[in-house]
Structure 1
Amino acid sequence: MLVSGIPDSVVGTNCWVLAPAAGEECLVVDPGFDVVDRLDAVLAEHRLRPAAVLLTHGHADHVWSVAPVCGARGVPALVHADDAHRLGDPLAGLGPQLRAMLQARFGDAARWSEPDDVRTLADRQHLELAGLGLEVLHAPGHTEGSAVFVLDDVPEEVSGAAGPGQRAALTSTVLSGDVLFAGSIGRTDLPGGDPGAMQRSLRDVVLPMPDDRLVLPGHGGATTIAQERSANPYLRQLS
């Protein structure tokens, strides 16, 4: 499996590109702020054709570029049903300082437009997209509709992101969005956050995962479930 990470230039949100191999269809995950040109370069370099855009949740830093990415290629945006409403206005609930920063940085481009084709996902749903099979796991807490995506495949290395390179001992991959990071977890004080729901998601969704699973998070470098189980304080306190 080919995987490339593209951190955005504003808050470092990871946009992930996944494909069975170069020259194939691919999935684009969480295209955030200011990634369109770099995403186009990755697609051209590996001769990839997006089949869909997957969204781990609806906060602005994960969906900012979804409309141009989808619109340029006529592909759908997929998001859990409980976060679909956020695509109407992902800036809702953001403070005036962040809105002003986006306006200063992007000018007229800071105006939001919703993707034309939005399709909703459900917990435990299985998808076959771009030659990849994945399962949707609903993991609320960061937002009501936060989800993680599990793939029964793993790349030999992850380009464009920090973290361990060779994956020979790993058997599967999870795109964890803002549920789980290397050494931390997503905030629960943003719109849609719920500390109790986050604790349940960590306990019921993350902790049962096998140790030999690669984690590609929404921010920061790649990690593994084994590493987080042993060193992440938020998981250790639940264990």
Structure 2
Amino acid sequence: MLTIAFPAAAFATNCYVLADGPGEECVIVDPGIGIEPTLREVLTEHRLKPAAVLLTHGHLDHVYSVTPVCGGELGAYIHHDDRYRLADPISTLDPALIAMFEQQFGTAASWREPDDIVEVTDRERLTLAGLDFEVLHAPGHTEGSVMFATDRVPTGVSDQVEVDRTLISGDVLFAGSIGRTDLPGGSHEAMQRSLRDVVLPQPDSALVLTGHGPATTIGRERFTNPYLQDLT
């Protein structure tokens, strides 16, 4: 699976582009703030045509560019419980943070919903751009946080690490940490259940593409992540 990852211009949010190979359709995951120039370069270099946008949750740093990326043609896939966040995610930010954001980028923050929003549910299976995904609902960071699982792995990775599955974890699981639960819609108790019932049952051979920071594996996190060790 052709897999390109690059950070957004703010909050170091990872944006992913996934495809069966060069010259094919692709899926874009979590188009955050200021990703459009880099995304255009990636699509041009690899001759990719976007087919859909997957959103791991509705926080602004993961969805800010979803509408221009979708362009009125692509579906934006998000869990039902985070659908309401696409109405106006800017309104949930602290005014001081919005002012800092506008000063950094030199433009007023604005928002418009994507034209085509597709609500997904737990364990739903999606086939997009020739790739199969399973939706894993894992609330705690937000009510509708999900991980997208596929049995494909990034090209070349399996030669270096023994992996046979990929989890795009959003802000559910990071290398050595987890997503915060103290923001509106977050829940420590829900996160504990998600880690116990959704994350830990995943095989050690699953590669984890995180919402922020480096990739990891379930096996590594099972034995080193302090937020998982108390649950095992």
- For the aligned pair, the TM-score class normalised by the smaller chain equals over 0.9
Are 1:32 and 1:65, in contact at CA under 8 Å, matched by a contact in 2? yes
Q: How much does 1:109 deviate?
A: 5.0
Are 1:154 and 1:167, in contact at CA under 8 Å, matched by a contact in 2? no
- In 1, the alpha carbon distance for the partners of 2:140 and 2:119 equals 18
Are 2:124 and 2:135, in contact at CA under 8 Å, matched by a contact in 1? yes
Write out aligned runs for 1:75-224 (5 A).
75-157=74-156, 166-167=159-160, 169-224=162-217
- Is 1:44–2:48 an aligned residue pair? no
2:76 is aligned with what amino acid?
A: A
- In 1, the alpha carbon distance for the partners of 2:155 and 2:70 equals 28
SS in 2 for 1:91: helix
Q: How much does 1:4 deviate?
A: 0.6
Q: Which moved more, 1:167-176 or 1:53-62?
A: 167-176
Q: How much does 1:90 deviate?
A: 1.0
Instruction: Give runs of ≥4 in structure 1 deviating > 2 Å.
Output: 105-109, 165-168
- In 2, the alpha carbon distance for the partners of 1:129 and 1:62 equals 20
Write out aligned runs for 1:48-87 (5 A).
48-71=48-71, 74-87=73-86
Alpha carbons of structure 1 residues 130 and 229: separation in structure 2 relative to 1, 3 Å: same
- Is 1:234–2:211 an aligned residue pair? no
SS in 2 for 1:189: coil
Q: How much does 1:106 deviate?
A: 3.4
SS in 1 for 2:118: strand
Deviations 1:60-105 (A, max 9, x none): 0000000000017x11100000001000111233212211112223
Are 1:156 and 1:167, in contact at CA under 8 Å, matched by a contact in 2? no
- In 1, the alpha carbon distance for the partners of 2:74 and 2:92 equals 28
- In 2, the alpha carbon distance for the partners of 1:177 and 1:47 equals 26
- In 2, the alpha carbon distance for the partners of 1:221 and 1:42 equals 20
SS in 1 for 2:153: coil
Are 1:26 and 1:48, in contact at CA under 8 Å, matched by a contact in 2? yes
- In 1, the alpha carbon distance for the partners of 2:110 and 2:167 equals 32
Q: TM-score, normalised by structure 2?
A: 0.96
Alpha carbons of structure 1 residues 166 and 109: separation in structure 2 relative to 1, 3 Å: farther
- C-alpha RMSD of matched pairs (Å): 1.4
SS in 2 for 1:37: helix
1:24 is aligned with what amino acid?
A: E
- In 2, the alpha carbon distance for the partners of 1:238 and 1:186 equals 16
- In 1, the alpha carbon distance for the partners of 2:103 and 2:190 equals 35
SS in 2 for 1:190: coil
- In 2, the alpha carbon distance for the partners of 1:166 and 1:7 equals 24
For these two proteins, the number of residue pairs brought into alignment is 232
Identity %: 60
Q: How much does 1:9 deviate?
A: 1.8
2:61 is aligned with what amino acid?
A: D
Q: How much does 1:156 deviate?
A: 3.0
